[in-house]
Amino acid sequence: MKIDNSLSLLSEKTPKINKNLDDQKLKEQTDKFEAFFIKKVFDISLKSENKLFGKDVGDKIYQSMYNDALSNAMSGSFGYSELLFNYLKENR
């Protein structure tokens, strides 16, 4: 009796591809979490209440957009993302 191993070869390759894709998705999510964390820090620390100038209606919106863009640009460089990624990768 001969056993067909062609399906077993296919199944051995599939997890490696899925694992790389899963790692990439996990890294994207940990970078987004780091960006969220940085944005919250900026929202608290960069509150500008300059009493010399009046406030426009859109000041809060522009400040939030600025903090969001800045935090997205900085995400992945503080180390929180890498730390979280490595922890979650080990504990899957």
Domain ranges, residue 57: 6-90
Mean pLDDT score of the chain, rounded to an integer? 80
Question: How many structural domains are present in the chain?
Answer: 1
- DSSP assignment letter at 78: S
The residue among 13 and 76 whose pLDDT is bigger is 76
Residue 1 forms part of a structural domain: no
Structure tokens at 13: 């390759």
Amino acid 65 reads M
With beta carbons less than 8 A apart as the criterion, state whether 31 and 76 touch: yes
Percent of the chain with pLDDT over 70: 74
pLDDT at 81 over 50: yes
Contacts of 16 (CB under 8 A, 6+ apart): none
- pLDDT single digits (tens) 6-38: 555 444 555 566 788 889 999 999 999 999 999
Residue 11 forms part of a structural domain: yes
Residue 37 forms part of a structural domain: yes
Structure tokens at 43: 């929202």
Looking at residues 36-61, what average pLDDT do you find?
78
pLDDT at 65 over 80: yes
Looking at residues 69-85, what average pLDDT do you find?
91
Residue 23 forms part of a structural domain: yes
Structure tokens at 38: 């940085």
